[in-house]
């Protein structure tokens, strides 16, 4: 009987000790220090692709700081600064250089285009008018 009690007591002791150790997380062995990695060269930033659109300004949003430019092929709304739009108004023909970042278009420059075709046409008409009276007088 003493042997049975001793055996039961040993088992109870073994279970108690094993439960106590099972609740504590096992200590991880220390990791060896990693050798220092050589400094990586900074990757050059991707150059933003500058695009251009030539067209008429259909809308100017001074509060939202954007313009809408309509060309023959497309219509774009582009974010601008106050400085870029101070000399333009709706209906003006402009050349806008812009970039796209995260789906948003941002103007690099906004330049008003002079109506060269109209000026050339006006000069030719004036020259023709000047020539006709001279021919009639002869």
CATH of the domain at 72: 2.40.50.200
Q: The domain containing residue 98 runs over which residues? A: 51-114
Residue 92: inside a domain: yes
Statement: residue 79 has pLDDT above 90: yes
Residue 82: inside a domain: yes
Residues contacting 114, CB < 8 A, separation 6+: none
What does DSSP assign to residue 88?
A: -
Statement: residue 5 has pLDDT above 80: yes
Statement: residue 7 has pLDDT above 90: no
Picking from 77, 121, 84, the residue whose alpha carbon sits closest to that of residue 100 is 77
Residue 33: inside a domain: no
The structure tokens listed for 82 are 């106050």
Q: Classify burial at 16, counting beta carbons within 10 Å of its beta carbon; exposed 0-12, middle 13-18, buried 19 or more.
A: exposed
Phi-psi map region of 118: left, alpha, beta (phi>0 left; psi -120 to 50 alpha): alpha
Where are the strands (E) in 43-131, listed by range? Answer: 51-61, 66-70, 75-79, 93-101, 104-112
Average pLDDT, integer, range 22-41: 62
Q: How far apart are CA 81 and CA 34, in angstroms?
A: 50
Write down the pTM of the prediction: 0.50
The number of folded domains in the chain is 1
Share of the chain above pLDDT 70, in %: 61
Whether the CB-CB separation of 109 and 84 falls below 8 Å is answered with: yes
Residue 41: inside a domain: no
Whether the CB-CB separation of 68 and 57 falls below 8 Å is answered with: yes
Residue 17: inside a domain: no
Query: What digits encode the pLDDT tens for the residues 56-78?
Result: 999 999 888 999 999 999 999 99
Q: How far apart are CA 19 and CA 34, in angstroms?
A: 36
Residue 55: inside a domain: yes
pLDDT given for residue 43 in this prediction: 52
Average pLDDT, integer, range 31-50: 64
Statement: residue 80 has pLDDT above 90: yes
The mean predicted confidence, pLDDT, of the chain is 77
Angle at 47 between CA 42 and CA 50, to 5 degrees: 170
More confident residue, 129 or 106: 106
């Amino acid at each position: 009987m003493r042997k049975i009690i001793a055996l039961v007591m040993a088992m109870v002791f073994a279970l108690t000790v094993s439960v106590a150790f099972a609740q504590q997380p096992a200590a991880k062995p220390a990791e060896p220090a990693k050798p220092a990695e050589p400094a990586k060269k900074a990757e050059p930033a991707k150059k933003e692709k500058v695009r251009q659109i030539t067209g008429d300004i259909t809308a100017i949003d001074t509060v939202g700081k954007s313009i809408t430019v309509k060309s023959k092929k497309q219509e774009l709304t582009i974010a601008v600064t106050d400085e870029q739009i101070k000399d333009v108004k709706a209906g003006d023909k402009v050349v806008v250089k812009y970039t796209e970042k995260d789906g948003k278009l941002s103007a690099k420059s906004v330049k008003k285009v002079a109506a060269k075709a109209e000026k050339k046409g006006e000069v030719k008409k004036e020259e023709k008018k000047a020539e006709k009276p001279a021919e009639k007088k002869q």
